[in-house]
Chain A
Amino acid sequence: MIRLLAKPVSAVWLLLMLATGLSWWLGLDQGMSSDQQSDYRYISSGLIIIAFIKVRIVIRYFMEVREAPLALKLICDAWLVLVSSAIIYLYCLGPVPVATGG
């Protein structure tokens, strides 16, 4: 069992579980006042970035793309970059929950 846990895949798995815990905690309504609600924008962007880092780890280590030919690595990374940047861009285009600076 110890031998299994010492494998790189197990180490990244532990990291993925911790990252999920962090996202879970960040996503909870942490009693922010309405003035602080614009901070949600940073938190939400962070949640998206964490999710796509997790996805890259799954692709690289679990799906073993790190052992794959360069073409497959590039296709996967292109998907990651395009989808994550489109999501963050569209999310940030949306109206700010609470008007700031006024």
Chain B
Amino acid sequence: MTSADCFSAVERKVEIKPHVPGEVGVWVFILGDMLIFGLFFIVFVYYRGLNVELYSHSQATLNQNYGAINTLFLLASSWFVAMAVDDMRNKTVKLAPVFFPLAMLCGLGFGVVKIIEYREKISAGITITSNDFYMYYYIFTGLHFLHVLIGMGVLVFLWRRARFAATQADVRDGAVIEKDMVLIESGASYWHMVDLLWIVLFPLLYLLK
């Protein structure tokens, strides 16, 4: 590779300077959401301490495999999104139009497992009013599931931008993509936060003894 080639390879990549990944407004929302869920986690552990026996007995009816498989689904999905964002920075945009749908497929897998789990619980007569543990279980996982559904919408949007970017890669040396990166990073950060919240919910609800 000649030095000229090296130079052009560097030129093709969107420069990364220290910056907030995505819109600052989106990060305010992300941090607010993390704060609220942080309080949820603390409230749950506090009330658990007041009635450990009830919480342990109720937890024993949960299927840990569902919780773990869903963690793996979200982690895999986050990896696809991270790789897609990296690909878009390269301005050549080859992988992103494929990786965003794969991330959505993992999100869909999460949803299917969640619905199977809810169906099992409800058909066994376990509902939000059964006891305090199940109240928290349904509220926390339900709110998180809502975040997953919103995230799926965000991923559809990112996919559309990636497909558009792929057609624009050679137009004005990828300037269009550079402009889009703030949106792409905002959406990706939101999706990673959905993953992050589940990483804490999984041990709290399914594993804590």
Contact = CB atoms under 8 A, between A and B. Distances in A.
Given A13-B79, A64-B21, A87-B41, A58 B192 contact: yes
Contacts of B45: 86-87, 90-91
B187 to A, nearest CB: 12
Given A47-B207, A62-B78, A67-B16, A20 B49 contact: no
Interface of B: 16, 18-21, 27, 31, 34-35, 38, 41-42, 45-46, 48-50, 52, 56, 64-65, 68, 71-72, 75-76, 78-79, 81-83, 86, 95, 185, 188-189, 192-193, 195-196, 199-200, 202-204, 206-209
Interface of A: 4, 7, 9-10, 13, 16-17, 20-21, 23-24, 26-28, 37, 40, 43-44, 47-48, 50-52, 54-55, 58-59, 61-65, 67-69, 72, 75, 79, 82-83, 86-87, 90-91, 93-95, 97
Given A20-B72, A43-B209, A87-B45, A63 B189 contact: yes
Contacts of B64: 24, 27-28
Contacts of A26: 207
Candidate in A51, A69, A91 with the most chain B CB atoms within 10 angstroms: A51
Question: What does DSSP make chain A's interface, helix, strand, loop or mixed?
Answer: helix
B49 A58 contact: no
Contacts of B20: 68-69, 72
Question: What does DSSP make chain B's interface, helix, strand, loop or mixed?
Answer: helix
A92 to B, nearest CB: 9
Nearest to B64: A27
A4 to B, nearest CB: 6
A67 B19 contact: yes
